[in-house]
Amino acid sequence: MVYAPQTQSGTFFNSQERHVRSLQIISALTIAQDRWRHGQHVFKIGVDVQRSSFDGTSDSRGLDIVRLDGSLAERTTYRQVVAEQNVAGTELAAFIQDRWRVNDRLSLELGLRADREAITEKINVSPRGGLSISVLPEGRGILRGGLGKFVERTPLTVGAFTQYERATTQRFAASGAALGDPITFAHVIDGPLRSPESLVQTAAWDQRFGRKVFFKAAYVHRTGSHGYILNPDPARGALILSSSGKSKYWEVETTGRYLANERRDLTVSYVHSRSNHDLNAYDDFFGNFREPIIRANENSLSATDVPHRWIVRGSLGLPGKWAFSPLYEWRTGFPWSAVDEFQDFVGERNRSGRLPRVSTFDFTFTRPFQFKKYRFTAGVRMFNAFGSGDERDVQANVTAPDYGTFYNPIRRSIGFVLSAGFP
């Protein structure tokens, strides 16, 4: 596989094969109690047992990074031995939940979950709670909120980290002279691993004006910790796996909906958000589709950070049972990172700029049909009807003559809709 400033060529550098087996048993008991301890309760108690294993192989081939003139800048090689992986583990979980309807205006939901992780061999406890208060009569104004800790399951591929093939890299000057000795990166786990977890806080206000107008305002804040990240250390000759990754995400959403009747409605939504996290997520490099080049980890904007997003959608019933359903989206472009001739990042990652903003208009135009006793819906669907040409990629290599040029626009396309039903 060859990385050049303006092209990528050759074959993909990695091939994998996995055989996965999983057996899961879940049991839950629900108990409803009316008028017990100040209200109605619905209790749910359950257990979850899962035994999973996988064995597989991973075969990585060479990777070259070349300059604009074709000279070799960096070469990565792997031992010509197919690496074998074999990991198994049993996960246990137990949970209890209470949906408590105190009265006609106040409802609470409380829960507790305990998980025993197979890879980390630790027990994680996750408390959660939420409430709903009907502030205005007849449910015209409802305040909702929640707070919870959520723990992610550790993929078995994390347990196979030390079983994957090791990379050896060496850099070269434009003249072809070596810029140092080759470095083989041993796979090292930095301290005891912990399960990734998030602390999530939510608040929302739902209000209804009459029978046709609805409004929602919501806030979500999520703080993540103990994410699995990779960090290369050339001085030690080590590729280090740790569970020190952090992330932070928040968003404010406002949505309004006008419901004229069953065939005519309009919804307008705006979301303002911010997303930061550690960028060397383990799954990016040792997941199903690997990134071949591993550079130093940074905590910066996520690759899908979108500060502003508008969505307008609806449906309009037309004569002859035709239905016109438009969807318009406008959002900020994703951030991108500049790289140099060695594919090293230039400046802070995901801070070099943003792709052009996206502005697309899609729609479907359909109606129901009946042929004998069969009913179906048919019509057309148009994507990017205005052909706005929003580019989705950028030339990020500072040595390329077209550095900073955007390309790969969203194309206009048309398709057909057909859905059938049977009596």
Domain that holds residue 263: 2-302
Classify residue 341: in a domain, yes or no. Answer: no
Classify residue 386: in a domain, yes or no. Answer: no
Say what the pLDDT of residue 420 is. Answer: 77
Looking at the structure of the chain, the number of domains it has is 1
Is 323's pLDDT higher than 90? yes
Predicted TM-score (pTM) of the model is 0.89
Classify residue 230: in a domain, yes or no. Answer: yes
pLDDT tens per residue, range 201-225: 999 999 999 989 999 999 999 999 9
Burial class for 93, CB neighbours closer than 10 Å (0-12, 13-18, 19+) = buried
CATH assignment at residue 270:
2.40.170.20
Classify residue 58: in a domain, yes or no. Answer: yes
Is 369's pLDDT higher than 80? yes
Classify residue 176: in a domain, yes or no. Answer: yes
pLDDT tens per residue, range 53-69: 999 999 999 999 999 99
Is 293's pLDDT higher than 60? yes
- Residue 10 backbone class (left: φ over 0; alpha: ψ -120 to 50; beta: rest): left
Burial class for 254, CB neighbours closer than 10 Å (0-12, 13-18, 19+) = middle
Classify residue 65: in a domain, yes or no. Answer: yes
pLDDT band at 37 (very low <50, low <70, confident <90, very high): low
CA distance readout (Å), 35 to 31, 38, 103, 105, 253:
13, 6, 10, 15, 37
Classify residue 50: in a domain, yes or no. Answer: yes
Is 38's pLDDT higher than 90? no
Classify residue 355: in a domain, yes or no. Answer: no
Phi, psi of 320 (to 5 degrees): 75, 20
Of the two residues 387 and 92, the one the predictor is more confident about is 92
